[in-house]
Each structure stands twice: as structure tokens, then as C-alpha cells.
Amino acid sequence: MGKKIYFLRSRIDIEMDNLGKKNRQQDREKELNKIRQYCVKKLEEIKFPSQEVFLVSSYRMNDFDFSRFCKVVESDLSENKRHVFNLSLPNFSTDVIEMKKASLHQKILAAAAASFVAGASPIPGTSLEWDIAILVKTFLEIRKSFGLDDESLERLALKVGKSVEVLKAEVKNPFISDISTASVMRLIATSVAGAVMIAAEAVQLIPIVGSLVGVPVSFLTIYTILRNSLDEFGKSAVRVIIKATEK
């Protein structure tokens, strides 16, 4: 059917643990290469020549070939599928965080476009209400994508055997833990982009001129607020991953 096939050899952590029990940790790369070549040989025997085999462990996803496997899959996907794939990945390494940041940029553009449409409303005050709702929804989606919501942090804490409080402490920005209409309004009120948004809303009271000014300003403001915040979310996600994976 012309589909691409990827071969993964799982549970590689068990093989490495066995090496440790034999005090052969220095043979790690040699043993990994031996396993990989064995798999390739067996694939060739069943008429799958020259296939690449990825050695992975679901318990140690930041180790072995999982990151490389994700990059190979990403490069083979269409743009839309690539974004879905990146956002579906668990946060197991800083590489994944960077991949997600790139895909979330598309979500930011979509949110700004939605604000652009809402900004055309002739009713004063409506545009700002829509913008706040768009920001709350998008911030919640970004937080979940980075695994910074309570449910994701609790799941990660259980997996790595650490308290959820230790992981939550790495989320330095209190806004990330408290995304609501009120907190977004405070963010708007204290940001330069937010001040521009409020000014544009006031200008909308002026017939004709208001709609001409408000629409592009609304797009740029939403985009700027979300883009600036994306880095902060990403930094918190990286700190959480480092804390979760440290010995």
C-alpha cells in the first residue's frame, strides 16, 4: 500500500539493566549496536532489507533512540499531521518541548485569526470579551500541551516516583497555575500589548474608524501576548522535565 514502516525494539532498559548486573556498563554502546544489527539481520531474512531499527524504552523515553525516532517520523509527515504528532508526544525531553513550541506557534496564529474575525464586530466591548475568551482557551490548551496542568503533573509525579509538589515548584510563573478570566484580564492590564488592546477597544466607539483600527490591532495584540507567554510556558516545562528525570 506504499506505507512507511518503522521497526522498534522495545524494553531496551531491561537489556541495559542486565549489563549493569554483570558490571559491564562500559559495553553499553557495543551491546546496543549488537541488538540493532541482530534485528536488522532478522528483518532481512523476512525480506525487509536495509531497515532502520530504533531501540526504545517506554520507561526511559529520554534515553536510547526514542528522540531520534520522533524526529524521523516528524520529517516524514505532512505539515498538518506533523503538528498533531508533536502535540501528542509526552514531554520526555527538552527536544520534545522545542518541537511542541514550534507546533503551538500555529495554534497561536489560529487564535489571533479568530480574534481578527471577532474584532470586526460593530458592537463596542464585544471584541475585548471575545479576545479574553480566546486567550483563556488558548492558554489552557498550551498548558496542557506542555504537561503543566494538575492532571499531567500528577501523572508524571507518579511515573517518576516524586511528589507532585516538587514538580509544581518548578512552574515559577503563578499565572501558569491559575489561568482564568480574571488572571488573563490582569495579564492584559499589565502588558504593553494589553494596553494597546484596551486603547483599540476605546477607539471602536468612533464609527467607521473604530472597525478599521480595531481589527488589525486585535490580531497583533493576541499574537504578541500568546507568543511572549509561549516562551515562559516552555521554560517551565523544561524545568519540570529536568527535575523529573534527575537522579
| HSE-up of residue 171 (Cα within 13 Å, Cβ side) | 19
Residues of the chain where predicted confidence (pLDDT) is lower than 70: 49-50, 116-127, 191-217
pLDDT digits 0-9 by tens, 75-90: 888 888 888 888 888 8
pLDDT number for residue 11: 93
Tell me the Cα Rg of the chain: 24
pLDDT number for residue 96: 86
Topology (CATH) of 1-76: Rossmann fold (3.40.50)
Phi, psi of 92 (to 5 degrees): -110, -5
For residue 9, the cross-strand partners are 55
Tell how many helices (H) and how many strands (E) occur in the chain. 12, 2
Please state whether the predicted TM-score (pTM) of the whole model is above 0.75. no
pLDDT number for residue 228: 87
What's the grid cell of residue 79? Answer: 505539515
pLDDT number for residue 36: 93
In whole angstroms, what is the distance from residue 11 CA to residue 42 CA?
18
Cβ 232 vs Cβ 117: under 8 Å:
no
Task: Tell me what percent of the chain is helix, strand and coil, each rounded to the nearest 5.
Answer: 70, 0, 25
Distances (CA, A) of 116 to 26, 38, 125, 165: 59, 56, 14, 39
In whole angstroms, what is the distance from residue 148 CA to residue 230 CA?
12
pLDDT number for residue 162: 92
pLDDT number for residue 29: 92
- 25 DSSP assignment: G
Q: What residue segments make up the domains of the chain, in order of their start? A: 1-76, 93-245
pLDDT number for residue 182: 93
- 46 DSSP assignment: T
pLDDT digits 0-9 by tens, 141-167: 999 999 999 999 999 999 888 999 999
In whole angstroms, what is the distance from residue 167 CA to residue 227 CA?
24
